[in-house]
Chains A and B, each alone.
Chain A
Amino acid sequence: MEKENKPQKKPNSFEIFLEEIQHSSWIVTFLAIMTGIILGGLLAAITSLEMYAAFKVSFWDGIKTGLQVAWSTYSALFTGSVGDFGKIKIALAGGDALEIRRAFFPFFESLVQSTPYIFGGLAVAVGFRAGLFNIGVEGQIFIGALTGTWAGYAITGLPAIIHVPLALLCGFLGGALWGFIPGLLKAKTGASEVINTIMMNYIAFRFSEYMLRGPMKDPTEYTPKTPVIADTAKLYHFFQDPIRFHLGFFIALAVAAFIYWLLFKTTWGFELRTVGANSNAARYAGMSNIMVTILAMALSGGLAGLAGANEVLGVNFRLVPAFSSGYGFDSIALALLGKNHPVGVVLSALLFGFLRSGARQMQLKAGIPIDIISILQALILAFIAAPAIIRTIYRLKESKIKEEEFTLSGWGG
C-alpha cells in the first residue's frame, strides 16, 4: 500500500489510439467511406483501356469516358447488391413467384454476405474493447466451421430445435478454443497476442487442410470435402431457391444485441472496457486483467467461430478448402469502421456485405475483378485509422475529441 507514491495510470499508445478511433466524429467516418469510394472509382477508370483510347480523341472525351467507367462500375455494384428496380417492377407486375424471387435475390444475398461479417466484426470489436488485437479471426472462422460442420453431419437423429443450437455451440467452442490459447499465453506469459493469433491462423489453415483431406473427408468424393450436414442442422431458409436468406442473419443480430448488453450493461463488460481503456488504471482498481484477457480472447474467438459455423449451417452445408477467403481480415476494418460498438459493427457489416455481394455481380457483369473491394476496404481502413488525412483533405477542424464525448451508450438503449 505504501508503494502507491507514483502509480502508473497512463494508458499505453494502443489504448489511446483505440480511444481516439472510438470517439472520432461521424463526419470523418462518412468522408472516409466516400473518399474510399471515389478513389476506387478512379482506380476502375485509370485501369480501363477505353479511357486511354478516348483521351487520344480529346481530353474531354477522356474525362467523360473515365467518369462513365466509374459510373458503370458502381451502378453494376449497386444493382448487384440491392437489385435492379426496373426488374423488380416487371417481376411484381408479372406475378411469377420465381421471377419475383430472382428480382429480390441481390438484396437478400447481400444480407447473407453480411451475416458472417457481423459475427467477425463483433469478434474483433470485443477484442479491441479489451485492448486486445485479434488478427486471428480468419483462423478462428476455419476452426468454428470445422467443429460446426462436424456436429452437423456426425450427430444425427436430433430434432432441428436441438441440433442447430448444438452445431452452433460447437462452432462457438471451436473458435473459442482458438482464441483462448493466445489469450492464455498473453495473460500468463505476456506473449503478444498479435503474433500468436497470426501463428494460430496458419496452424488453423494447415489443420483444416489435414482434416478435410483425412479424418473429415467425405469418402464418396474425390476432392477434399466434408460430408453434407444433416437436414436437421441446417439453418432455416425463409424463401425458396435461389434466395439463400436464412435464420443466421437474425441470430447475428441477436448476438450483437447480447454483446451490447454484455459490454455496456454488465459489471463484467465494464471491467473489460476498463482494462481495454487503461489497463494500468484497471489494475489499480483491483480488476483481474488476467481473467479479462483470457475470457475476452475466448469470447472473441467464439464469435468468430460462430461466423464459420453460420456459413456452413446456413449457406454451404459442407466444408470445402479455403471457404472463408478473407472474412477475418475484413472484419478488422469493419470493427474499426463501426467504432468497436455492436450497432456500428452491424451497420458496417451491412456495408461490407453489400459491397462484397455487389462486387461478385459486378465481376460477372462489368468484368471488374472482385478484388477492387479489398482495395476499397484498405483505403477506408487507412482513412478511419488516420483521421488526420481526412481532416487535411477536407480542411476539417480538429474535432475537440475529449470535450464532444460521443455518448456511445446512447444508441438503441
Chain B
Amino acid sequence: MENNHSNNIVEKYLGKTRRIVMGAIFLAIALLVYFVFAKGNSADSLTTFNMTPGGSSSSYPDWVFPTNSYLSFLAGVCLILGAYQLVRGFGKLTNAFLALIAVIFIFSFLSWAASGGSMNLAGLLRITIIRAVPLTLGGLSGILCERAGIINIAIEGMMLTAAFVSTVVASLSNLWVGMLSGILAGALMGWILGVLSIKYKVNQVIAGTVINIFATGLTSFLSQKFIQKTDYQFLNEPGMFPQIEVPVLSKIPFIGPILFNHNIYIFLTIFLVIILSIALFHTRWGLRMRSVGEHPKAADTLGINVIKTRYISVILGGMMAGFAGTYFTLGSSGRFDELLTAGRGFIGLAAMIFGNYNPVGTIGASILFGFFDALAVRASILNVPVPSEFLGMTPYLVTMIVLAGLVGKGHAPAAEGTPYEKESL
C-alpha cells in the first residue's frame, strides 16, 4: 500500500516535471534555432539542398531558399509550441510534437550546415532509411521477446550468427535460401536463449551475454579459419539482393527516390512493422503474448500456456534478429567480415526502448538513429561542424535520457526478466 501511494506521487510529480522539462526543451530548441542556426549566417545567405540522390536514374531540381527567414519562421513555430507546452501541455500528443520539434531541429541544423553551399539532402535521407533497416528489425526482435517477458540483449549475437550462416549458404545456393537459412539460424539462437532463460531459469541478461560471447567467438573463429582465406573465398561470395525501382511510386519527386528505390529489405521491414503492430495489438495472439509479459500468473490462471507462449515469442524474436543479420551480408555488404554488425543490435535495443516497445515507435526511433548514423558517416563530406564521433553518440544519449524518464515515460513489460514458476498446488 505504501508502494502504491508513493507510486502515485511519483506519477504526479513526473507528469508535471515532464510537462515542464518538455516545454523547456522546446523553448531551448527555439532559441538554439534562432540564435545559432538562423543568426549564425549572414542575412542574405542561401541554403541549397540537392534533391537527387546518388544512383538515381532521373534528376530533380535543387531546393534553394534564404536560410535566415526560413529558420526564423521555424524558430517562431518552436517558440509557440514550447510556450503552450509549458503552460497547458499537449498531454497525450506530447510525443508527436516532440517528434515535430526534432524534425524542425534537424532541418534547421542541416540548413545551417549547408548555408552558403549545398548539401545532398535526398542522398542523406535515402541513406538514413537504409541505415534504419537493421535497427528497426533488431528492435522488432526485442519487442517480440520482451513483450512476452524475456529480455533479449542477444540481438547482436543472433544477427552475427545469421549473417555468417546466410553468407555461406547463399554462396553455395542462392540468395533466398541464404536468407531462409539465416532466419533459421536466428530461430536456433532464440531457442537457445529460451532454453537457458525459461527452462534453466538463467538470469536473462547473463543468458544473452552467453549468446553474444558465443556468437562473436564462433563466427570470428570460423571466419578466420575458413571464409577469409583465399582457398575458401567461394564461401564468402553470396551476392546481394538487387535494387527494385517501384514503378510509378519511385517517380514521385523527393519521396520517390528516397523511399521507393531500394532492395527488398526496406520493403519487407515496413511490411513487418505493419504486420507486427496489428498482430500485437489487434489479435488474440498478441493479447495473450502481452499478458504473459505483463502478468504471467494471471495469464496462467486464464488458461494461457505461459511457457509455450514465451518459447514461441523468443523463437520468433530470434527469427527476426536472424532476418536482420542477413541484411548485413545479403542486403548491404555482399560478404561476411568479422563483427560486421558493429553494435547495431544494441542500437536496435535502444530504438526499441525509445520507441516504447511499440513497432511504429521503434521504426520512428530507428529512422532518427539512422539519420545520426548517416550524418556521422558523411560528416566530413557534408562539412557538418560537429565531430562525427559525437553524432554517433546521440542514439545512446537519447536512450539514456528516455530511460531516466525526463522526456518520455517508457513502459517496460512488468514481468520482464522474471522466470515463470508455476506454483504447485
Contact = CB atoms under 8 A, between A and B. Distances in A.
Given A17-B201, A196-B400, A199-B400, A378 B393 contact: no
Interface string A383-397: 001101100000000
Interface of A: 3, 8, 12-14, 17-18, 43, 47, 133, 135, 185, 189-192, 194-196, 198-200, 202-203, 206-207, 209-210, 213-214, 329-330, 332-333, 336, 368-369, 371-379, 381-382, 385-386, 388-389
Nearest to B404: A189
Interface string B1-33: 111000000000000000000000000000000
Contacts of A189: 403-405
A198 B393 contact: no
Given A13-B418, A194-B153, A382 B210 contact: yes
A206 B399 CA distance: 16
Interface stretch (B49-57, B211-219, B251-259, B313-321): B211-219
Given A17-B203, A210-B390, A198 B418 contact: no
Contacts of B224: 369, 371
A202 B225 CA distance: 29
19 contacts: A17-B201, A18-B203, A135-B205, A185-B404, A191-B404, A194-B151, A195-B349, A196-B403, A203-B396, A203-B397, A206-B392, A210-B389, A369-B224, A369-B225, A375-B218, A378-B217, A382-B207, A385-B202, A385-B210
Contacts of A194: 151, 153, 205
B interface, over-half SS: helix
Given A194-B153, A195-B349, 11 more contacts: A13-B203, A47-B221, A189-B405, A191-B405, A194-B205, A195-B350, A196-B403, A202-B343, A371-B218, A377-B217, A381-B206
B362 to A, nearest CB: 15
Contacts of B209: 135, 329, 332-333, 381
Interface in B178-207: 196, 200-203, 205-207
A341 to B, nearest CB: 17
Contact of B213 (A8, A191, A377, A388): A377
A75 B346 CA distance: 38
Contacts of A333: 209, 213
Interface string B396-414: 1101100111000000100
Interface of B: 1-3, 151, 153, 196, 200-203, 205-207, 209-214, 216-218, 220-222, 224-226, 343, 346-347, 349-350, 353, 387, 389-390, 392-393, 396-397, 399-400, 403-405, 412, 417-419
B216 A371 contact: yes
B214 A375 contact: yes
Given A191-B404, A388-B200, A202 B396 contact: yes
A329 B153 contact: no
A253 B242 CA distance: 57
